[in-house]
Structure 1
Amino acid sequence: MALFTGVVFSVFQFLCSNYFSYELTDIVASLVAMAAAVAFLRFWHPGGGEQAAERMRGELAAAKASGWTPAGGGGDAEIGSAATDTAGDTLTPSRAWMALFPYVLVIVIFGFVNLWTLGVNVPEVLARTSIEIPWPWLHDSLLDANGERLSSTVYNFEWLISPGTLLLISGLIVAAVYSRFDDNGRYPLSMGEAVKEIWTTARRMTSAALTILAVLALAYVMNNSGQTVSIGTWLAATGAFFAFLSPVLGWIGTAVTGSDTSANALFARLQETAGAAAGLDPKLMIAANTGGGVMGKLISPQNLAIAAAAVNMSGQESVLLRKVFGWSVALLAALCIIVFLQSTPVLSWMLP
């Protein structure tokens, strides 16, 4: 099952990133993989399902005996099955659609904003709403190696077309729809509750946001001061072997910062410089940085904390770390080998 959905996910990730909209790559691939998994299970059924359910019932009973209660405060949680489901547990087409609605809406909104050009060039119109803000004391004061003024001293404030704004709009639309969705006479969400939850989430993310801002600021300092170019030139001395080391930088960057985006901001310029100096494809090196960052997600403290909290294991992040560390290293090693082979005639045909 994992192999099948992984293959489907990879194929549609490739197609979406190259031919549709790279902003929606993971969302489209995830939805298609989910649909493919449902269809696959119509024809293939894993063995041992009832035994697994029985084992989970035993674990649940033991957890209850030790005083544990499920998130949300209910003490009557049970492991159900198709045979024991009540009418209230049945997955109806309307419930399935409402569960998928947020993801479909995100695809529609992002596709409209980034791709719609029938009659009106929406991306161009929305891009005009961006506000350019020159950084005080820095604008027109920083020069590149050729003596030209750096354009990075102007901040482009994309208040409307920013992915964050589009996601916020999507969330508000979802809340409005959910507030009118009648599920057996119950309205599960009000608009006021949704706005309150958005604000609460934003407050919880304050430290994470400040961390990302600090990392991005560091990236600008390193790039504009020439530090990344210097380090990249030094790493280029490893020659063709740098292709093997390239994913490791992304792995380290994401493991430390918790964000693949932050790792790219820190090391993308370095990867490009080192790759070009070593005679390697700079685009492959940047892609390797991103791929290595995905492997670093598994062991990032921030991501471990989120995963632990999601399954009522707060304070047991070390347990998850021990479980996934070996997988993270093994997957990183596999990626390093693949990137190295892609930099040679063996797998160079894979590159666009």
Structure 2
Amino acid sequence: MVWKQIIDPFNAIALSLLVAAIPVLFIFWALIIRKMKGYQASLIAAGLAMLIAIVVYGMPVKLALLSAAHGALYGLFPICWLVIMAVFLFNVTVKSGQFEIIKHAMGSITADRRLQALLIAFSFGSFLEGTAGFGAPVAITAAMLVGLGFSPLYASGICLIANTAPVAFGSIGIPITVASQVSGIAELPISQMVGRTLPILSVMLPFYLVTIIAGFRKAREVGPAVLVSGVSFALLQYLSSNFLGPALPDVIAGLGSIICLIVFLRFWKPKTIWRFDNEPAPTINTSIHYTSGQLIRAWSPFIVLTIVIIAWGLQPIKEVLNSVGMVQFEFPGLHQAIQGVDGSLLPKIFKVNYLSAAGTAILLAALIAIPLVGLSYREGVAVFRSTLNQLKFPILTIAAVLGFAYIVNDSGITLTLAAVLANTGFLFPFFAPVLGWLGVFITGSDTSANALFSKLQYATAQSIGVDPVVTVAANVSGGVVGKMISPQSIAVAAAAGNLVGQESQLFRFTVKHSFFMLVFICFLTLAQAYVIKWIIPVYETLDATTAVAVPDLAKGYTYLLVLTIGLVVLSVAIRTMNRKSSQTPDLVK
């Protein structure tokens, strides 16, 4: 039996909108006003969504339960799998004592909390978003900042806000690839349009972040460094997105801004070192000198992580790993049991790509790093157990959040919200980013939001005479500012920042910044649609009959062989350097 989605269950769109918005508004109320724990708010929101789906939208109870189960499973894999491995890798570094060396190294670059936030949350987080995505950047950078001595709330909140700039090009450009596939517009023009929107935000974001941390006056004190960080990032993001495509902007901009800021800090220092209130003064012992071998050993988990994550992002390697390490099946009772409003049956295929998943790449990096940092695998197992215990409530939260997301999507609740925005006529370009923002808030993924709304963005723009690439790109750009308040992202950041049970504080920390940035992108999109049309790239739509290329597995196996050789050589080199250097730091007399 097939059940058909409906958009207007009351035949009165205003009333349908009010009811459809209840689960979304509940999350805001629960976290901002009621200050509920994340898993409690998520479970109740999922229950509310299920009740509305069944009673109001007429969704069969069986389908509603199966939809929630489908979402919860997706939350466990690949999302929770990635989060667990990211925190595990960081915990290995801490357990081995190597993170103390990293803290010393960071302190030798700058002990100023404002500049540390730019280096780690903004630049390094962008690099990780470009390679891994799906929560890994926030999980790793938030844990690093907490380890450096940041307040857990500021560490997690800053990393969520900093993650705004790179999300559109995350995971080697997957969000834009999906937007292209769904809308029928080629990847490059979407990449170009996004790359003419987000760099404006990227220039301002470092100053915005520092202002949040230290206030406007203290942000001005590090204005030159902030300018170097923001301008270098934005320029590289613009150039790579407009001339290379969507795959590399985050990697290039992230690494480029790190290099530019570190070089700049060799010649310029702030007049005062800023720390948090009641935080002890910097205690970097300048008489301690670590050898190059010791520094490389301390950073080895993240060096290996970078290499493996980049390799995992290469399409030939993905194809090989999926050819031997992926299980997929039609979700029983749910596959093609729901008919969309366009008459098509919705496929519900669950894929377990256990080898090509980003979490597996991080696990491999951790397994390689364990002996490099001086731990035994028995100690590694103990660290993994403690990591699982640390993340038990975030795992429950993420599973509940994804269950909620799948119910509101499968029932048609999300389509009701989208239909209202699509009927705004001439003002639709202003509201186009809101659709992306809403999609990411619900699903936690810019990729998923683009899959949901890119076709709607395209069709609506055509109907009002606006170039569709403007609104499709706006869906991508609007989605990035929804990431910081998505319950899924909040759960990940809370887990990494030791804020489990305090998700409401984190949500209240980020929500106003999400709205500020969303309004900015809305006005910018409106201007692009009607005022500054010269900014729109010239392009052609995709040919739907284009043949799908046959995977070249030979190339993938070659890449894997090169990766293996490279990792072996790196491991041997690090162990050799470590044997030659003293196990304790040299003291400068």
Q: TM-score range by the shorter chain?
A: 0.5 to 0.7
- CA deviation vs aligned residue, 1:168-225 (integer Å, no higher than 9, x gap): 3233333343236xxxxxx9x9423443244335534312321342144235414xx5
1:1-352 aligned within 5 A: 1-14=225-238, 19=244, 22=247, 26=250, 29-49=253-273, 52=274, 59-60=278-279, 78-80=280-282, 84-87=285-288, 90=289, 92-94=291-293, 96-98=295-297, 100-115=299-314, 121-129=316-324, 130-143=326-339, 149-150=345-346, 152-179=347-374, 190-218=379-407, 220-222=409-411, 232-254=418-440, 260=446, 267-268=453-454, 270-299=456-485, 326-344=512-530, 346-349=532-535, 351=537
**How big is the shift at 1:134?**
1.4
**How big is the shift at 1:146?**
6.9
**2:278 match: secondary structure:** helix
**How big is the shift at 1:38?**
0.6
Cα distance between partner residues in 2 of 1:311 and 1:144: 40
**1:156 match: secondary structure:** strand
Cα distance between partner residues in 2 of 1:291 and 1:104: 30
Cα distance between partner residues in 2 of 1:307 and 1:106: 19
Quick check: 2:402–2:488 contact (8 Å CA) kept in 1? no
**How big is the shift at 1:229?**
5.5
CA RMSD of aligned residues (A): 4.2
**How big is the shift at 1:158?**
1.8
Change in CA separation of 1:174 and 1:314 when aligned onto 2, cut-off 3 Å: same
Unaligned segments of structure 1, at least 5 residues: 61-77, 181-186
Farther-moved stretch of structure 1 (284-293 vs 327-336)? 284-293
The amino acid of 1:178's aligned partner reads: V
Quick check: 1:216–1:265 contact (8 Å CA) kept in 2? no
Change in CA separation of 1:228 and 1:333 when aligned onto 2, cut-off 3 Å: closer
**How big is the shift at 1:313?**
7.7
Cα distance between partner residues in 2 of 1:323 and 1:209: 19
The amino acid of 2:327's aligned partner reads: I
- CA deviation vs aligned residue, 1:258-292 (integer Å, no higher than 9, x gap): 66566556655554554444444555434433433
Quick check: 1:229–1:269 contact (8 Å CA) kept in 2? no
Farther-moved stretch of structure 1 (9-18 vs 163-172)? 9-18
Change in CA separation of 1:42 and 1:98 when aligned onto 2, cut-off 3 Å: same
Change in CA separation of 1:221 and 1:314 when aligned onto 2, cut-off 3 Å: closer
Residue number in structure 1 paired with 2:26: none
Farther-moved stretch of structure 1 (329-338 vs 94-103)? 94-103
**How big is the shift at 1:346?**
0.8
**How big is the shift at 1:34?**
1.9
The amino acid of 1:192's aligned partner reads: V
- Matched length: 312
**1:155 match: secondary structure:** strand
The amino acid of 1:205's aligned partner reads: P
Cα distance between partner residues in 2 of 1:146 and 1:312: 45
Cα distance between partner residues in 2 of 1:155 and 1:312: 31
- CA deviation vs aligned residue, 1:61-94 (integer Å, no higher than 9, x gap): xxxxxxxxxxxxxxxxx42266x5341xx56544
Farther-moved stretch of structure 1 (153-162 vs 289-298)? 289-298
**How big is the shift at 1:142?**
4.7
The amino acid of 2:256's aligned partner reads: V
Higher relative contact order (CA 8 A, sep 6+): 2
Change in CA separation of 1:162 and 1:25 when aligned onto 2, cut-off 3 Å: farther
Cα distance between partner residues in 2 of 1:196 and 1:17: 41
The amino acid of 1:241's aligned partner reads: L
**How big is the shift at 1:337?**
1.9
Cα distance between partner residues in 2 of 1:146 and 1:25: 35
Cα distance between partner residues in 2 of 1:350 and 1:131: 41
The amino acid of 1:9's aligned partner reads: F
- CA deviation vs aligned residue, 1:121-141 (integer Å, no higher than 9, x gap): 433322323333012234354
Cα distance between partner residues in 2 of 1:301 and 1:149: 29
Cα distance between partner residues in 1 of 2:440 and 2:459: 20
Farther-moved stretch of structure 1 (283-292 vs 32-41)? 283-292
Change in CA separation of 1:140 and 1:256 when aligned onto 2, cut-off 3 Å: closer
Unaligned segments of structure 2, at least 5 residues: 1-224, 540-589
Cα distance between partner residues in 2 of 1:17 and 1:208: 34
**How big is the shift at 1:243?**
1.5
Cα distance between partner residues in 2 of 1:98 and 1:347: 52
Cα distance between partner residues in 2 of 1:59 and 1:295: 32
Quick check: 1:218–1:266 contact (8 Å CA) kept in 2? no
Cα distance between partner residues in 2 of 1:289 and 1:342: 14
Change in CA separation of 1:341 and 1:201 when aligned onto 2, cut-off 3 Å: farther
Cα distance between partner residues in 2 of 1:15 and 1:99: 33
The amino acid of 1:137's aligned partner reads: G
TM-score (norm 1): 0.67
Farther-moved stretch of structure 1 (332-341 vs 287-296)? 287-296
**How big is the shift at 1:335?**
1.5
**1:338 match: secondary structure:** helix
The amino acid of 1:244's aligned partner reads: F
Change in CA separation of 1:43 and 1:311 when aligned onto 2, cut-off 3 Å: same
TM-score (norm 2): 0.44
